[in-house]
Amino acid sequence: MLEIDKKIGPFRVKEVWFSDAIFDVKHCQRLVFRACKKEFEKSNFQQERFTTLTLDLTKDLGTIWQGMDKSSCRYAIHRAEEDGVKIAINKHYEGFHRIYKQFNRNKGLPISRWRPNDMKKYGTLFTAVLNNKVVAGNFYLEDENNIRWLLGASQRLENVPKQEKTIISNANRLIIWETIKYAKLKNIQEFDFGGYYTGNRPDKQKKGINSFKKSFGGELKTYYNYYKNYSMLYKILLTSYSLVRQHL
């Protein structure tokens, strides 16, 4: 289990990840349990179901490797290594954050509240480096049994030569492979890809992300988030913010 404390203006928000139970917490205005593997019957918490893709890390590394797609995944990882991509762990926080902000702006995606100092405190950052330059990265949350992909981004590909685009694409797969090996060394039992799109509306971008994740093999599972607001003012402000975002 991983506990994260955040300050949003005057409000304290507590997040609990990978918990086997849900419970009340004092002295916070909002409480969130994320990535619960069990469904709990507790009427005073709101529940949200979601689908995610996971890898069973109790399998040996060779079996996990063979479960990956040969052409789009294993070959790409080998090519990234041959092209000189290096993977760094818990370095380049500022460089990754810059890439992440630009990446999300280009994709029209919201930018997470996670900042470099928060990443250093609570998670694990993997970055891909080519010619002394950060070209991609993934940020993960972990506890003793789970590691979950939370943020990912790569260098802008506009006006980049085709060969370099391919190297960066391959580097993204190498990051995940190195993360899997890291997690195996720590006896972590499950790698969570951080969600899998199952909506009915056509979405080319999300389908592409699904295809990328699925190339690593894995199994689709249903997990749960639980929410509780202790502050009516916070609830009103959160609802207003969500309505504004829907109309942007």
- How many CA atoms lie within 13 Å of 133's alpha carbon, on the beta-carbon side? 9
Q: Say if residues 18 and 3 touch (Cβ distance below 8 Å).
A: no
**What pLDDT sits at residue 176?**
98
- Which of these ranges, 44-53, 69-78, 88-97, 226-235, has the smallest mean pLDDT? 226-235
pLDDT digits (tens, 9 = 90+) for 98-153: 999 988 888 777 778 899 999 999 999 999 999 999 999 999 999 999 999 999 99
Average pLDDT in the chain: 91
- Which of these ranges, 35-49, 165-179, 229-243, has the smallest mean pLDDT? 229-243
Percent of the chain scored above 90 by pLDDT?
Answer: 75
214, β-bridge pairs:
none
Higher pLDDT, 171 or 42: 171
Residue 19 is classified by DSSP as -
Q: How far apart are CA 155 and CA 57, in angstroms?
A: 29
pLDDT digits (tens, 9 = 90+) for 32-64: 999 999 999 877 899 999 999 999 999 999 999
142, β-bridge pairs:
147
Tell which residue, 45, 40, 47, has the closest CA to residue 24: 45
- How many CA atoms lie within 13 Å of 239's alpha carbon, on the beta-carbon side? 7
- How many CA atoms lie within 13 Å of 82's alpha carbon, on the beta-carbon side? 8
* Helix ranges restricted to H, 35-187: 61-66, 75-82, 93-107, 116-122, 162-185
pLDDT digits (tens, 9 = 90+) for 194-209: 999 998 888 888 999 9
